[in-house]
Amino acid sequence: MTKSLYDILLDVSKSSMIDNGDLNAAGLLILTAAIDGLQINRAGVWLFSEDKQVICGKMLIDGDECELDTSLCLARSDFPHYFDSLDSERAVVANDAHTDPCTAEFSQSYLTPLGITSMLDAPIRHRGKMLGIICCEHQGERRSWTNEEIAFASALADTYGRAVSAAQRNDYERQLKEINEQLEQKVNERTNILQEALRNLNHTQAKLIESEKLASLGRLVSGLAHEINTPLGIAVTSSSHCLSELKRVQALYKDEALNEAEFAQFLAELDDGLGLINNNLSRATTLVHNFKLSGSIHASTEEEQFELRSCIDLTLKSLQPLLKKNHIDCQLMPSAEIALNSYPGAIAQIITNLITNSIHHAFSHAEHEHKEKQIRIQLTQTAEQITLHYRDNGCGIAPDIRPQIFEPFFTTARRTGGSGLGLSIVYNLVTQKLGGDIVIDEDQSHGASFRIDIPCHT
């Protein structure tokens, strides 16, 4: 290969146009180099169809004219010998294109009208696959292509393959950029949707918790009304009896029939009646006082310093009418006082929901009808956390439903009015409001058992 061909190849290989991804600019550079190096006027890039049954001009330089994506296409069925030579994936070297077996088929239709006498076609390869050819066409006196010229054309064809890689890489990068932009847009859209869904969920959760609070207070009011009715009824009856006795004694006094025995009996009756009235009114006053304190705890939404045992004890006192109605012995087991900076309203709601859950589920089976019903609450404290262990001696929680019991609206008591929100609200209050954790104990053979861990400082 002459030095000039080497120089041309070196210039082409070093050009940034080969690797910048612009295949048209790279093709134009390569074809111009072929024309300059081989001293011809006409050169083109031809690319196969997918099935290699047709080859079409991708780019053609003819003198001063340059045409992209030409209308020139050759079909295998029309030029079988030429395509057979291309199938060998070797350069087609036709010194006399009119008589060469590979190119003679073009003589009348292509070569003669264009004055082409010699052809040199070098295969373009990309990733081991032949994509097409660089076709170098000599016009005028026929010529014999030298080995240096054949090698030069082949090197240009390989360089075009390199340019195809760069174009594909640029295309992949563009597609990747578009995909990333689309992905980012989708992520943003879905993030917005999820954030909106989360806002709606938090709003719904807040409403459900508030609704459950109202329901709990409603149960407390109902239970309190029933519980207060007894001492007030006794007080009213005693008051009526005392009034009746007073009228009887007044009548005897007016009739001057009051004797010492009658008066002594009246004083005894009055003492007993006033004692009953006083005791039962005191009992009613205590119930109302506890109810007011419990209502204050339930309604509390602010973080504050409080004593945990007192909070739970007061909640249990407010639930006594409900517990008594269902014949349940509920006890807070002895332990030291525990000071906590947290949310007493959430604690009260958790205890209320757990007890309500036990009433609806643990003791609803016939086998527990005559069994002593018990609920035990145990508190323990470490340096880092407080553990509340809640257990009843009911039927326990079946293994197949344990993974679902904290899910909203999951209930096994739908027919009896269960909403499926009680334990879900407990879970959300423990994990979100108190920053703790709640788990079901593995052993449920002696009844439902929950362990709630609350950090000492929320």
Residue 265, CA atoms < 13 Å, CB-side half-sphere: 9
| Residue 279 confidence (pLDDT) above 90 | no
> How would residue 124 be classed by pLDDT, with cut points 50, 70 and 90?
very high
The length of the chain is: 458
| Residue 174 confidence (pLDDT) above 70 | yes
Domains along the sequence of the chain with CATH: 3-173 (3.30.450.40), 303-458 (3.30.565.10)
Contacts of 372 (CB under 8 A, 6+ apart): 329, 393
> Mean pLDDT: which of 294-308, 309-323, 419-433 is highest?
309-323
> How would residue 260 be classed by pLDDT, with cut points 50, 70 and 90?
confident
Residue 68, pLDDT score: 86
Contact 111, 90 (CB under 8 A): no
Residue 342, pLDDT score: 87
- Gap between the Cα atoms of 328 and 360, Å rounded: 12
- Once rounded to an integer, what is the mean pLDDT over residues 218-236? 68
Between 375 and 400, whose confidence is greater? Answer: 375
What is the average pLDDT score of the chain? 84
Three-state secondary structure string covering 224-292: HHHHHHHHHHHHHHHHHHHHHHHHHHHHHHHCCCCCHHHHHHHHHHHHHHHHHHHHHHHHHHHHHHHHH
Containing H/E element for 94? strand 92-94
Nearest to 21 by CA among 168, 134, 160: 168
Quick check: pTM over 0.85? no
**What string of DSSP letters covers 169-206?**
HHHHHHHHHHHHHHHHHHHHHHHHHHHHHHHHHHHHHH
Contacts of 448 (CB under 8 A, 6+ apart): 357, 358, 361, 362, 391, 392, 394, 395, 396, 397, 440
- Once rounded to an integer, what is the mean pLDDT over residues 358-384? 82
| Residue 396 confidence (pLDDT) above 90 | no
> How would residue 236 be classed by pLDDT, with cut points 50, 70 and 90?
confident
Residue 39, pLDDT score: 92
> How would residue 3 be classed by pLDDT, with cut points 50, 70 and 90?
low
Per residue in 397-439, pLDDT (tens digit) is: 888 888 888 876 667 665 555 556 778 888 888 888 888 999 9
Residue 427, pLDDT score: 87
- Gap between the Cα atoms of 51 and 313, Å rounded: 85
Q: Which ranges in 61-146 belong to alpha helices (H)?
A: 80-87, 112-114
Q: Which of 266-270, 375-379, 454-458 has the lowest mean pLDDT?
A: 454-458
Residue 52, SS3 per DSSP: coil
- Once rounded to an integer, what is the mean pLDDT over residues 302-321? 86
Between 227 and 18, whose confidence is greater? Answer: 18
